[in-house]
A and B are shown apart, each in its own frame.
Chain A
Amino acid sequence: MAAGVTAVLEVTSLEVRRSGRPIVAGISFSASRGEIVALMGASGAGKTTILRAIAGLDPIGAGTIVLDGMTLKPGSIHRGHTLRELHRRVGIVFQFHHLFAHMTAHKNVWLALVHVMHRPLADAEARAQELLVSLGVGDRSAALPHELSGGEAQRVAIARAIAVEPPLLLMDEPTASLDPARRQELAATLRQLAKQGRTIVIATHDAEFARACADRVLSIDDGRIRTVS
């Protein structure tokens, strides 16, 4: 991280345990505003676990996560107000997108704007359409999730995650369902988002994509960071 640049994400000595067994341990890294960091490693290396801990979906065993001024400490999963505060700071795009199956792409994007951010419906709908257009899926706004291709669903999921304007975007295995041409498009999209000032942490096993897209690549193996490049 360059001197004088504020870290949006600061992970220190993170440990996550499941059934008493450490899944990841001693994980420390940071990401500054507008930076793309890739966590690279084979399946089961612990990449997704790190993302879930940052997103507050899994409890932390040890260490701290500081996210845009908010600190997560060991203990149970955060609830209520704390969790909502956290989720204004971080958005996540899952490997399988997990779009709400009963809603159109458009509604998937505006739902949180209305019910979480309390934006007027008309504003929320306009903002959602704007995001979908900017991500190249404006013409698919009326489609249901099962009618979208993998790439389209991923773009809708990105739009949904960034609609509430979190400073940090987490992406889990973003290239899993994309062909090479779509990977390039995705890399361009992420760089564009970073240029707009959003910090992005990507968990991927795709070394080529990680190198092409990220400012820094952290190699994870067996729950620990092995190399930084």
Chain B
Amino acid sequence: MSLRLCGLLFVALAWGSVAHAQSQELRWGGDAEGGAPFVEANPGDPTRVEGFDVDVATLLATGLGRVPRFVQTGFTTLDAATARGDFEVGLSGIEDTPTRRSRLAVTIPYYEFREILTVRSADRDRFRSLADLRGRRVATLGATLAYDLLVDAQAREGIIPVTYEDDVHPYSDLALGRVDAVVLDLILARRGALRDTSLFNQPQPLAVGHYVGVLAPTQTALRDRMNEILRNAMRDGRLEAIFRRWNVWNEDQPRLYAQMLGGSGQGEGGSGQGLGVRGQGEMAPNTWEAAWRYLPALLNAALITVVLSCLSMSLAVGVGMLIASGRIYGPSSLRAALTIYVEVIRGTPLLLQLFVLYFGLAPFIQLPAFLAALLGLGLNYAAYESEIYRGALEAVPQGQLDAARTLGFTQRQILVLVRAPQAFRLALAPMTNDFVALLKDTSLVSVITVVELTKQTSIFAANIGSWVLPGAMCAALYLALSLPLARIARRIERGWRRA
């Protein structure tokens, strides 16, 4: 009895000390993949992060009398994680948008940035604005103000927006000629041009935006305290020191600070001053209106998903059959080579294979994104299909093959007339399963700029600040695609059983 009491006391004390430690911390979320100068892992000690957002988090924590604690969160899920309460404040170059303001508690802007058009130096006189880029591919990060800018320009100027998951590859692909321009904020544009001197940043900004901190909607009191800390840091130069330290201080910031400190109608949290950025200063879009607006884009993305899935599966089936036949009928050297192929493909992530195909091979061969996605998915699934076909081919009774041989059929005739048709019946169920899996795996190709259904949904969700409706629409579309497929496969199987 006393032992149990001691145990309970120990648990209570332990829980109390954890709770106390947590209350002393300021948990803040950011994406270290975003890199310097925002948030990046320290090269000497990857467990530590650094960047101006790290310093702003420290500034806020110190002002609150707490210790900052970093919580790694993917950039596109920062809003959702904030709303969930995974951390108290999100800081990672988060842009100020009406949607964010309608869903979350947002701090006053602490940095003003310009959206910049980057082109190849050779094109600096040809492509001065988005209007000069009609019919051309323009890259940016998904779910950003720049993306909204490009979507507007797509309707107005006829440009083709291309979205990336990171801010490095838009610039490397610009240098390679895969895209003709990049629109991102000045900080990223400077970094891109610094990495590759063949790129040129157009001086005229396309728009202006602001970075803010985001908190759960109920945390308005904490947000107000943070606003006070930020204003104090603007007054006494601590914020300026941070941005100077990271070499991103410019003449735009004093103007912003003057607005924030002068109470010039910005209110708690202020707002962006858009120069052509859609949505800036407007009311947050109604969710249902947004759903209606995004429906054509989702349907188009679903079409891309279907076409990509069908073509990839056709490639996988064809190559898979060749591999399976080679492994059964081929000479030992071919069998060994095909076994290595299957094991390497099955033993490495599809995501890695897509990266290698699209980015890794780029210096030697520049595959278009869709073709790279098709090859990546097709060749990956071919390895899995080949094992299904090999198993199915070997499941056809040896006696039937002997019977075919004694009737004088050649090996090829035996394969085509006797073995493969029966094997195909055995393979149909696992093939259907794989096709449904492939349909969903197409979501991975967004890393190489193909905007399919999941990516479009993620952009939609970021735009309206909620995953509920976009997630439901996306799931409904996937089900609408996969359920008929399963029904068709079952019908074929039933037909074969009857035949």
A interface, CB within 8 angstroms of B = 55-57, 80, 83-84, 87-88, 90-92, 94, 96, 98-102, 111-112, 115-117, 144, 157, 160-161, 164
- Please give the distance in Å from A100's CB to the nearest CB on chain B: 5
Cβ contacts A to B, 24 pairs, < 8 Å: A55-B406, A57-B405, A57-B406, A80-B410, A87-B408, A88-B408, A90-B406, A91-B407, A92-B403, A94-B399, A99-B400, A99-B403, A100-B403, A100-B422, A101-B422, A102-B421, A115-B409, A115-B413, A115-B417, A116-B409, A144-B499, A161-B407, A164-B407, A164-B408
The B384-417 residues at the A interface (CB cut-off 8 A) are 397, 399-400, 402-410, 413, 417
Q: Are B404 and A100 in contact (CB under 8 A)?
A: yes
- B407 contacts which chain A residues (CB < 8 A)? 87, 91, 111-112, 116, 160-161, 164
- B413 contacts which chain A residues (CB < 8 A)? 115-116
Closest 5 pairs (CB-CB, A-B): A98-B399, A87-B408, A116-B408, A112-B407, A98-B403
Q: Are B400 and A111 in contact (CB under 8 A)?
A: no
Q: Which chain B residue shows the least CB distance to A91?
A: B406
Known: A111-B417, A115-B417. A98 touches B409 (CB 8 A): no
Q: Is B425 at the interface (CB under 8 A from chain A)?
A: yes
Tell me the bound Cα distance from A116 to B404 in angstroms: 10
Q: Is B418 at the interface (CB under 8 A from chain A)?
A: yes
Known: A98-B397, A98-B399. A87 touches B418 (CB 8 A): no
Tell me the bound Cα distance from A101 to B472 in angstroms: 45
Tell me the bound Cα distance from A99 to B407 in angstroms: 12
Interface of B is mostly: helix
* Interface size of B in residues (CB-CB distance below 8 Å): 20
Tell me the bound Cα distance from A96 to B398 in angstroms: 12
Q: Are B402 and A98 in contact (CB under 8 A)?
A: yes
Given contacts A57-B402, A115-B417, 5 further A-B contacts (CB under 8 A): A56-B406, A83-B405, A87-B406, A98-B403, A160-B403
How many A-B residue pairs have C-beta atoms within 8 angstroms? Tell me.
66
Tell me the bound Cα distance from A127 to B119 in angstroms: 76
CB-contact partner of B425 in A87, A102, A157, under 8 A:
A102
Q: Are B409 and A94 in contact (CB under 8 A)?
A: no
Tell me the bound Cα distance from A110 to B400 in angstroms: 16
- A91 contacts which chain B residues (CB < 8 A)? 406-407
- Please give the distance in Å from B345's CB to the nearest CB on chain A: 31
Q: Are A98 and B408 in contact (CB under 8 A)?
A: no
- Please give the distance in Å from A112's CB to the nearest CB on chain B: 4
- B408 contacts which chain A residues (CB < 8 A)? 83-84, 87-88, 112, 116-117, 164
Known: A111-B417, A115-B417. A100 touches B409 (CB 8 A): no
Q: Are A112 and B409 in contact (CB under 8 A)?
A: yes
Most B CB atoms within 10 A — which of A55, A115, A157?
A115
- A90 contacts which chain B residues (CB < 8 A)? 406
Q: Are A96 and B418 in contact (CB under 8 A)?
A: no
Tell me the bound Cα distance from A99 to B410 in angstroms: 17
Tell me the bound Cα distance from A100 to B420 in angstroms: 12
- B422 contacts which chain A residues (CB < 8 A)? 100-102
- B403 contacts which chain A residues (CB < 8 A)? 92, 94, 98-100, 157, 160
Tell me the bound Cα distance from A84 to B411 in angstroms: 11
- B425 contacts which chain A residues (CB < 8 A)? 102
- Please give the distance in Å from A49's CB to the nearest CB on chain B: 13
- Please give the distance in Å from A111's CB to the nearest CB on chain B: 7
Q: Are A94 and B405 in contact (CB under 8 A)?
A: no
- B402 contacts which chain A residues (CB < 8 A)? 57, 94, 98
Known: A94-B399, A98-B397, A98-B402. A84 touches B410 (CB 8 A): yes
- A117 contacts which chain B residues (CB < 8 A)? 408
- Please give the distance in Å from A145's CB to the nearest CB on chain B: 10
Tell me the bound Cα distance from A43 to B417 in angstroms: 33
Q: Are B417 and A96 in contact (CB under 8 A)?
A: no
- A116 contacts which chain B residues (CB < 8 A)? 407-409, 413
- B404 contacts which chain A residues (CB < 8 A)? 100
- Please give the distance in Å from B35's CB to the nearest CB on chain A: 58
Q: Which chain B residue shows the least CB distance to A89?
A: B408
CB-contact partner of B418 in A55, A56, A94, A100, under 8 A:
A100
Tell me the bound Cα distance from A64 to B386 in angstroms: 41
